[in-house]
Amino acid sequence: MRWLPIGLLACGTAGTKSVEERADSGMVALDPVAVTLQAGNAASDEERYRIFAALGPSIAHDSVLYAEWADLLSFMDQWTHGLETYWQPGDQDTAGEGGYLAGFFVLSAVPGVTTTPSEIRSDSPFYPLWCLYRGRMLIWFAIEMGFSEDAYYGEGRDLLGTARATFTDNPVLPTYLDEPVPWTFTGSVPSHTPDSAV
């Protein structure tokens, strides 16, 4: 079995098949650790989902790993495509964001109860990615609902710390962990703007 180098996940050349097409055709087996690392460091949930989704055919022979992948991918799909794919007008009108983001997990986002997303082995190559979504889910719930913040933030930040240790280039995680996030302003600044605002 030949593993696809991680650098090839993010690029392609004219006349060659995409990573997804290669995985589907059996041309190459994707390395679950490398794919998870690439997905975890992706700049957006959509990119993260696309990268992780391509892994399935390469791990179909491992029933335990495949089951973990399929379950986590389903959660990622609902998180990423909730508004476009799953939400229907009138669904959970009283829920936050009209129900489309949290509708599928709001009743199961409980610290210490790891049913959503389904708990996976701590030695699974997907565990850091599971931590990323579970941690964000718990913190989202604490912000949205405003109760039991210590428990939700405590577990959420612990999980995001685990994810951060693996996904050192993830652009979202620092904001959850009180790390300064540098930014640059490229627009024009009016002359009367104080230096502290730029």
Tokens of 25: 């055709």
Instruction: Say yes or no to pLDDT of 162 above 90.
Output: yes
Q: Give this prediction's pTM.
A: 0.72
Read off the pLDDT of residues 18-70 as tens digits, 9 standing for 90 and up.
455 555 555 578 999 999 999 999 999 999 999 999 999 999 999 999 999 99
pLDDT in tens, 87-115: 666 655 555 555 555 565 666 666 666 66
The answer as to whether 193 is a domain residue is no
- φ, ψ of residue 34 to 5 degrees: the values are -65, -40
Q: Is residue 191 part of a domain?
A: no
> In this structure, is residue 108 part of a structural domain?
yes
Cis peptide before 117 (omega within 30 of 0): yes
In a domain, 190, yes or no: no
Number of domains in the chain: 1
The H or E element containing residue 106 is none
Domain boundaries, position 173: 3-179
For the chain, how many residues are written? 198
In a domain, 122, yes or no: yes
Tell me the residue type at 189. Answer: V
